[in-house]
Amino acid sequence: MTTPLRADAARNRERLLAIARAAMTEGDLALQLNDIARRAKVGVGTVYRHFPTRRALVEALADGAFATLVDEARAASRHDDVWTGVEILLRALLLRQVADPAFAEVISTGPDQDATATTTEHREQWSAAARVVLERARQAGVLRPGLTDDDLHHLVCGTAFALRIGDEPTLRIDRYLRVLLDGIHAAERNGVNSGTAGLQARRARS
């Protein structure tokens, strides 16, 4: 489909990615493309040829993390315990975001027009794998009713955002994740499978 990159081009591409990753990791979320070019000792044109837009660069940075996540999601769907599968799934989605700011940016914004083919594909693979895990959980009645796949996706992204505010995100991961998991677990309330009843009862009170 795409002719393989010429040697020098491939070299430059890697160099740019490496430098962009470094910049982003050390906190420069703005990722000024001119700046990246200068640091990479490369013309601006080269940057824009490889990554026509800032978003394209960020997506390229996120590719690795995204692929890993898809694997983790598939592994989660194979886990014996249904609920544990959900925990693994959501924890993976959260950890990837904490570890990789570029990935966090991509995953917590809607699918973009003119997104990379790779990213689009990853996105589909991810939601397919996640759907399996979550649907299993719904069948087993361990997932709070009324929550869509998208809801869960958003809530995890929200949790990642919560971690980004304030210091020492990594120390708070488990705490926040626990809150989320308990919030979306059905069986935790009123003994067994309370289903919608529990939700309504509580809602009426507030």
Residues in region 3-42 near DNA by CB under 7 A: 3, 5-9, 11-12, 30-35, 41-42
Task: Kindly state the tokens that stand for 24.
Answer: 């982003």
Of 34, 84, 120, 139, the one binding a second copy (CB under 8 A) is: 84
Q: Which does 110 bind (CB under 5 to 8 A by kind): DNA, a second copy, none?
A: a second copy
CA separation, residue 28 to residues 9, 50, 180, 184 (Å): 25, 20, 29, 34
Residue 45 CB neighbours (<10 A):
9
Of 190, 46, 143, 59, nearest in space to 33 by CA: 46
Q: Is 80 in the site for a second copy (CB under 8 A)?
A: no
Rounded CA separation 64/60 (Å) = 8
Closest approach of Cβ 105 to DNA, in Å?
Answer: 15
Of 111, 124, 183, 196, the one binding a second copy (CB under 8 A) is: 183
Q: Is 176 in the site for DNA (CB under 7 A)?
A: no
Closest approach of Cβ 17 to DNA, in Å?
Answer: 13
